[in-house]
Amino acid sequence: MPSSYELVNYSLRPAKAAERKMLCDIARRLEPFDRVEAYRYIGFGSIYFADFHLFHQSLGIWDMVSIEKDEVNEPRFRFNKPFRCVDLKLGHSNVVLPQLNWGKRCILWLDYDGKLDKLVLADIATVCSKAISGSLLVVSVNVEPDRKPGATPAEQDAHRLKSFSEVVGDEKVPLGTTGANLRSGELAKVCRRVISNEIGRELTDRNGPLNDESKVHFQPLVHFLYADGAQMLTVGGVLYEKRDENLVQACEFQELPFVRTGEDAFIIKAPKLTQKEVRHLNSQLPRVPPDQLSLPGVPDSDVHDYAAIYRYYPSFSEVLLG
């Protein structure tokens, strides 16, 4: 079975590209903890290394670790590594993450192309048990519902509940979850709860022997939903010690319009617009309210979706290199 990077060019997904820029802005707000350039970035670069390009060039981060489980294609990863400062670690993240040096603040984007499962939860537990105060943890998973060909709606629900319980573990399924909760539009809510519960459970264990000022808390910041193809969920936030609560406040994350701390997600939609249409809308932004924007022939819903992410809307063009 081919790897996902052989099927999808992750650098050319518009909603994903907008998300990447939004996460960059959140990371930039970590300055009260330390210079962002002094952070380590940990991610899954694949062969495109799109997030590594952005975080190095925009944030100045030079300490970067890319974890690649596809060890067979090591030569291709090394060839595509964009900067000398990217340290390529081969192996599954369950193995690599525990072996890293955790004495430095990190920005971690565990950007999985697959669905939430026990392996993802194990990585989340590792980060929450080891990351130091001021670290940013972000997790992306596929939340496209399972489908059993030819099954009735009731059989679909039973299949989904059984499959979900098997992949995350019976004990990790939130109480009261039914198959109906795992349908399209609902699965993301359950996955977010499972991730949140895992973070809370791990921090409770970590904090047991610590005094109050040293106890580690988690401030949710990221709750994105988008679909360039499959429906994707991204959640995350900052890990901080109680004594650093004032630094979290000083970050002023709430000033970013897409930051979400609760149940409601920020839905990223990147409408298909021509460059002329984009320039026309940009000429009216940011001062004009979205309901007063004008663009002939384009649905109002597309105009509103663009206005919500216009600063992060990607611009793709063909470049011919000699």
The first and second tokens of residue 256, run together, are 């970013």
pLDDT in tens, the chain (322 residues): 554 433 443 446 899 999 999 999 999 999 999 999 999 999 999 999 999 999 999 999 999 999 999 999 999 999 999 999 999 999 999 999 999 999 999 999 999 999 999 999 999 999 999 999 999 999 999 999 998 999 999 999 999 999 999 999 999 999 999 999 999 989 999 999 999 999 999 999 999 999 999 999 999 999 999 999 899 999 999 999 999 999 999 999 999 999 999 999 999 999 999 999 999 999 999 977 777 888 889 999 999 999 999 999 987 655 544 4
Q: How far apart are CA 191 and CA 249, in angstroms?
A: 28
The answer to whether residue 170 sits within a structural domain is no
Whether 295 and 216 map to the same domain: the answer is no
Q: What tokens were used for 162? A: 């059984």
308 and 218, same domain (yes or no) = no
Q: How many domains does the chain have?
A: 2
Q: What is the pLDDT of residue 168?
A: 98
Tell whether 224 and 290 lie within a shared domain.
Answer: no
Residues 104, 51 within the same domain:
yes
The pLDDT value given to residue 291: 79
Q: List own/partner pairs for 124-127 with CB under 8 A and 24 or more apart.
A: 124/195, 124/198, 124/199, 124/202, 125/198, 125/201, 125/202, 126/94, 126/97, 126/98, 127/97, 127/239
Q: Which of 251, 268, 285 is where one domain is finished?
A: 268
Confidence (pLDDT) at 311:
94
Residues 218 and 281 in one domain: no
Same domain, 223 and 115: yes
Are 304 and 241 in the same domain?
A: no
Please check whether residue 188 lies inside any domain of the structure.
yes
Q: Tell me the H-state helices in 60-213.
A: 74-80, 93-99, 118-130, 153-168, 187-207
State the residue range of the domain holding 209. 4-144+184-268
CATH code at 137?
3.40.50.150
Q: Is residue 296 in some structural domain?
A: yes
pLDDT at 317: 55
In a domain, 24, yes or no: yes
Q: Is residue 164 part of a domain?
A: no
Q: Is residue 117 part of a domain?
A: yes
Domain co-membership, 302 together with 193: no
Q: Could you tell me if 55 and 201 lie in one domain?
A: yes
Of residues 181, 164, 50, the one with CA closest to residue 111: 50
Residue 233 lies in a domain: yes
Look at residue 304 and tell me if it is in a domain. Answer: yes
**Are residue 298 and residue 261 in the same domain, yes or no?**
no
pLDDT at 55: 97
